[in-house]
Structure 1
Amino acid sequence: MDAPEPDTPFAAVSAQTTRVGRIYQAYLDKSTPFITYRWVGTGILTLAFALRIVFAQGWYIVAYSLGIYLLNLFLAFLTPKFDPSLEQDEGMEAGESSLPTKEDSEFRPFVRRLPEFKFWYSATKAIAIGFACSWSEIFNLPVFWPVLVVYWLILFCLTMRRQIQHMIKYRYVPFTVGKTRYSKNSS
């Protein structure tokens, strides 16, 4: 196939979408250090979605699907990138331990499977899509919503219990709250 001529409408549309994509990416890059503001915006969007569901009294399947997706993202956010249980099994075969056992052992920081920015970005996109779906009657399926709420709560409790047991067993903390921070000027 030959490349489209620069004067064709397709080339003009392609150039505009590329330009818009670059501008969008530039704004995303600029928002990276503003963690609190990003999450406050996502919280406001979540509140708007929740109010839409409550006042419209419908779109429970959309809300349930969004809840399952957000739970999946949250679990990926809490999980280490390199699973210590798999590394321990491989280390057992080789006769070595993957966790440091002495003070002079190598320090390995906690690396998430899903970084914070990607977690925020995916969650915000999902909430925005769910909010948009809540305005279309095609997604308003009749369901008995208390069953969905109870099922989601059971799923949340079971998966979080398993995740917390995994954290305790392999001694990692996915949050930096309460950890010691050292400054550059420690004299």
Structure 2
Amino acid sequence: MERYMRDDSGGDETSELNRLSKLFRGFFDRIVPYTLFRWLFFFGVLAFYVIRVAYLQGFFVVSYALAIFILSQFLGFLTPQFQFNDENSDPLLPTNSDGEFRPFMRRLSEFKFWRHCTIATIISIFCTFFSFFDLPVFWPILLIYFLTLFYVTMRRQVEHMIHYKYLPFTYGKPRPQGRSPPQSI
């Protein structure tokens, strides 16, 4: 019973965490529509990271981990939310055959892809300030391994896209397709 009666100051910490969480969530909600500026910010942060690593001539393991993480997020961005059935090459969910426009549903949304990559890059920049993350490694091996991994995974993803006939990008506003005129014999 005493456990419930005593006053812990932990409530103040949780209220502060809740307040900070709401503040960050509100900020992220406000920047969702600004796609171009978000990606320009990400590429600016990534360029800063690349320049810092080139200047320091180290932190190749951190760079390799960042590249692998961004590749995995990119694959999640390209992968459809619903997997296809291998038996008859049809999606697991029913589709209608009247030609209705159906947008591509991603496993990882564009905003989450941007947010995860940006946070990972900022964490990688933070790691470059500590020398114990600068592990001695022969960087060309990591580069060759990453390029091989990139080639194999992207080839598999493109083959999957060709096999199931989907394109993970939609271009502009969908145009209505009229009915084809009846063919006369």
Shift of 1:180: 5.0
Which residue does 1:174 correspond to in 2? 168
Q: Given the superposition, is the C-alpha separation of residues 143 and 2 from structure 1 closer, same or farther in structure 2, using an over 3 Å criterion?
A: same
Q: Secondary structure at the match of 1:2?
A: helix
Which residue does 1:83 correspond to in 2? 83
Q: 1:2 aligns with which of 1, 4, 28?
A: 4
TM-score in terms of structure 1 length: 0.83
TM-score in terms of structure 2 length: 0.84
Length, aligned pairs only: 173
Q: 2:128 aligns with which of 134, 137, 143?
A: 134
Q: How does 1:34-49 map to 2 (within 5 A)?
A: 34-49=34-49
Which residue does 1:149 correspond to in 2? 143
Identity %: 38
Q: How far apart in 1 are the matches of 2:6 and 2:126?
A: 35
* 1:126-163 CA distance string (max 9 Å, x none): 11111100111110000011111111011101111111
Structure 2 residue runs of 5 or longer lacking an equivalent are 177-185
Q: Secondary structure at the match of 2:4?
A: coil
* 1:43-86 CA distance string (max 9 Å, x none): 100001101110000000000000001100000100001112xx
Shift of 1:175: 1.1
RMSD (Å), alpha carbons: 2.5
Shift of 1:13: 2.3
Is 48-57 or 12-21 further displaced after alignment? 12-21
